Structure 1
């Protein structure tokens, strides 16, 4: 068991949670979470729940926040589990590591994603209704009753891009490019996706995020290379 997790569990007086209780608390944020996914995270040594004498897993509050952190890093940053695990190992050792893209708060400090109405989204992004409408028309933001942090980050970026003369309509190709990448991922996952057992589904989900992360590295490298040519 990682040292920080062991210390947190030893000092945590809150009742331990069963797998079902963990799912009940996290499923609103992560609808695809399943018992097999939790077991998969344990197999990869990212979380170490306690065990009863009968062998049932019991999760502390620290374990719960650790799982929330892992799932958030996968969903929002497309980070592979080996990268997240390396970060957590360093964190457990008392170091202050960084993940690709900048410093990330410790699991116990990570807050849940906010839910914003349309008006709140526009106000917090410093945008206007027309820009949001253009973003929706360009398939950059999916229309919804409530919006999360991802939509907020996109709209904030669009506000900044607009100041440079780049409008949402100029970015319509981004959606098509994303769909092409999704096709690549689906083709790569086909051998695993054919299997219907829970373990294979969890493995396929992890592979999808790993491939997405590698594609992001290639894309970022190409952009940096292009910028270097511009500078010269």
Structure 2
């Protein structure tokens, strides 16, 4: 990773500076609009609302003027650049990024999320690299789920291969979660409703960003893609919070 990520290897707190990057200017002099301008070239989909959202998630902590206006430092900009790059390049969840920043704040090198994984398939070493789709054999190796179970998940409509029998690389996480739920006693047939709900959310996101995607220019497509990822994070957050409320409402007798 370039920019701020290149400086994380040996980040040590400077005197009086508690947040990373420790060697950057922490003087709060930038408005939120200026921060967006600073980041827009590298992250075209950045917006005022995105910066505020990352603040609400505890990933950046700008100063406030007496009138309540946010003021950011050069260090804050670097933190935001780190967060946005992790989301874009590795699809890293915000909770993981927050832990990474906590490690950096303490002067440690964080455990980085690895995108490429090396697995064995039919005796051959296979690197996922940047592949978007993987064969069922690699999916089984990555998840520890046997081929019969993958076929069963596929018949149930929980995962779907393409015409060549390849699965989206992101299915690794889905299959792992499905297998853990099954081990916990959940009848995986009911999980079809979860996938249907996810697809309905994806339809809403698609409708929201379609106007940007429809212009056809490369920059517009990139903005639409980044916006879709951002909205996906928000939908996932909403689902998690609603599920927490619903589970909390269950009586002891029903549990």
TM bin, normalised by shorter chain, reads 0.5 to 0.7
Report the equivalent of 2:43: 41
Runs of 4+ in 1 over 6 A off after TM superposition: none
TM-score with structure 2 length normalisation? Answer: 0.50
* C-alpha distance after superposition, 1:162-190 (max 9, x if no partner): 23332332211222212211111122113
Report the equivalent of 2:111: 105
TM-score with structure 1 length normalisation? Answer: 0.54
Q: How many residues align?
A: 167
Gaps of 5+ in 1: 9-37, 45-65, 98-103
Moved more, 159-168 or 173-182: 159-168
Gaps of 5+ in 2: 10-39, 47-82, 119-127, 129-133
Bigger Rg, which one: 2
* C-alpha distance after superposition, 1:14-67 (max 9, x if no partner): xxxxxxxxxxxxxxxxxxxxxxxx9533896xxxxxxxxxxxxxxxxxxxxx99
Question: Secondary structure in 2 aligned to 1:206?
Answer: helix
Question: Secondary structure in 2 aligned to 1:40?
Answer: coil
Are the counterparts in 1 of residues 161 and 168 from structure 2 also a CA contact under 8 Å? no
Question: Secondary structure in 2 aligned to 1:133?
Answer: helix
Match status 1:71 vs 2:116: no
Between 1 and 2, higher relative CO (CA 8 Å, sep ≥ 6) is seen in 1
Report the equivalent of 1:125: 143
Pair 231,67 (structure 1): closer, same or farther in 2 beyond 3 Å: same
Offset, 1:213:
0.7
Pair 7,209 (structure 1): closer, same or farther in 2 beyond 3 Å: closer
Question: Secondary structure in 2 aligned to 1:196?
Answer: coil
Q: Judging by fraction of residues, say which structure has more strand.
A: 2
